[in-house]
Amino acid sequence: MLSLRLYVLQRITALLMAPLVLGHLAMIIYATQGGLSAAEILGRTQGSVLWHLFYGTFVLAVSIHAAIGVRAVVHEWVGVKGVVLDVVMWATGLGLFALGARAVWAVTFA
């Protein structure tokens, strides 16, 4: 169900995300002080290549990571297998990536 290739991909994206999550957590704690507003978020991120890369990488990694994770859970706890299992994995990954890429685009360049 989980091949060596998926296992390695899962661990590499995890390692990649560890520092990103810490950065994101620090950002959350910093940004939420005194409330949040759209203008405040956009003021920070709009036009910033750095934020674009930071969250762009994050979205790509999390899409892969979540897709593989969902594959394991859906197989073991729901009993999905075969082609359907592959479809679920790809749909999760591509769906998350599409939504995530749209969000990153919205707060950095749009």
Place of tokens 């990536």: 97
Residues 20-59 that bind other proteins (CB under 8 A): 21-22, 24-25, 28-29, 32-33, 35-39, 41-42, 59
> What six digits make up the tokens of 62?
């999390």
Q: Which H/E stretch holds residue 96?
A: helix 82-108
**85 makes contact with other proteins (CB under 8 A):** no
**94 makes contact with other proteins (CB under 8 A):** no
For other proteins, give the closer residue by CB, 54 or 100. 100
Q: What are phi and psi of 96, to 5 degrees?
A: -60, -40
Q: Which positions ≥6 away from 103 have C-beta within 8 Å?
A: 59
**93 makes contact with other proteins (CB under 8 A):** no
Residue 51 buriedness (CB in 10 A; 0-12 / 13-18 / 19+): middle
Q: Contact positions toward other proteins, by CB under 8 A?
A: 1-8, 11, 14-15, 17-18, 21-22, 24-25, 28-29, 32-33, 35-39, 41-42, 59, 62, 66, 69-70, 72-73, 75-77, 92, 95-96, 99-100, 102-103, 105-107, 110
